[in-house]
Amino acid sequence: MARIARTGWTPYWQAAPLALVFLLFLVVPLVFILLVSFWTYDNYQIQPVLTLQNYADVFDRCISRLPSLCTTFRTYVSTLGFAFRVWLITLVIGFTVAYFLAFEVRSKVMQSVLFLICTIPFWTSNVIRMISWIPLLGREGLVNQTLLGLGVVDQPVDWLLYSGFSVTLTFVHLFTFFMVVPIYNSMLRIDTSLIEAARDAGASGWQILWNVIVPLSKTGIAIGSIFVITIVMGDFVTVGLMGGQQIASVGKTIQTEISYLQFPIAAANAVVLLATVLIIVFALLRVVDIRKEL
């Protein structure tokens, strides 16, 4: 109260509009999803009667089937597998691109131009960018025709499209930029005199990378990781389109339940997914205190 008396209410009034938007478009919908997840339903209607059956259905017979995995656990393992692979690949690519822009390109103008070029794919729809892979990866696509022409394979490769490979490739294509931006922003804030001091002290390029650049870029790495993992965990369009409707994911499960008007169990699945993502984010924040670093 003493602090409010000293500074006045101006900061709170300035934050009020964004806080109101945050409340109306994030907190309130999440509360409704949580509430609906406890409602009961049948083939005809949803009844506001509290029940835990929806969560029981989500984890139906999962414990009794151990050590074998039930459908829900297999779906989460598949989704987490995609998230881990995409995170690892986008981290390597994003860090490399950000490093090149921040330290190898000396001109600020050229840095801005190259960074702008990286944003060009975002000028088109994600769906169009997904579909563009189909003529390349299909049985009659450019990649298979090239492999056949070079004599590398005797028949078209089937696993290039409508498989886990095509889903992972598309995820990397769509979301690498979400890793580039925060890492690049963190690298721009690194004092180059620290790198020069390490070089004068006899550190090799790899030692400078691991002992100077990576620790000072961990905030950007954490933010980019949160972006990529949260998007991949909830995605269902990419999995459905590039997986040929044959690959399971949590987002795809929720989308299917909504299409059948099974809103309470879809809400229960959404709550479980949200809890899983929050646990991952919490683990990342335990490693890197973003607020302190920023």
The pLDDT profile of the chain, 294 residues, written as one tens digit per residue, is 555 555 567 778 888 888 899 899 989 999 999 999 998 887 677 888 888 888 887 777 666 566 566 777 888 888 999 999 999 999 999 999 999 998 888 888 888 888 888 888 778 888 888 888 888 888 888 888 888 888 888 888 888 888 889 999 999 999 999 999 999 999 988 888 888 888 888 888 888 888 889 888 899 999 999 999 999 998 888 898 888 888 888 888 888 888 888 888 899 999 999 999 999 999 888 887 776 655
Q: 31, exposed or middle or buried, with CB in 10 Å at 0-12, 13-18, 19+?
A: exposed
Helix axis angle, 250-259 relative to 71-99, nearest 10°?
A: 120
Structure tokens at 117: 């070029």
What residue has token string 């934050």? Answer: 15
Containing 266, the helix (H) or strand (E) segment is helix 263-287
All domains of the chain, ordered by start, with CATH? Answer: 72-293 (1.10.3720.10)
Nearest Cα to 52, choosing from 32, 36, 38, 35?
Answer: 38
Q: 281, exposed or middle or buried, with CB in 10 Å at 0-12, 13-18, 19+?
A: middle
Contact (Cβ atoms closer than 8 angstroms) between residue 240 and residue 255: yes
β partners of residue 63: none
Nearest Cα to 118, choosing from 96, 151, 144, 135?
Answer: 96
Contact (Cβ atoms closer than 8 angstroms) between residue 115 and residue 187: no
Contact (Cβ atoms closer than 8 angstroms) between residue 232 and residue 242: no
Where b means 16+ CB within 10 Å and e means fewer, 58-68 reads: beeebeeeeee
Neighbouring C-beta atoms of residue 57, cutoff 10 Å: 14
Q: What is the CA radius of gyration of the chain?
A: 24
> Quick one: how many helices (H) and strands (E) in the chain?
18, 2
Containing 176, the helix (H) or strand (E) segment is helix 164-188
Beta strands in the chain (DSSP E): 40-41, 46-47
Structure tokens at 242: 């590039």
What is the structure's pLDDT at 180?
Answer: 92
DSSP H helices in 68-150: 71-99, 108-118, 126-131, 134-137, 142-150
What is the structure's pLDDT at 118?
Answer: 83
Query: Counting every residue, how long is the chain?
Result: 294
Distance in angstroms (rounded) separating the CA atoms of residues 226 and 92: 15
pTM beyond 0.75: yes
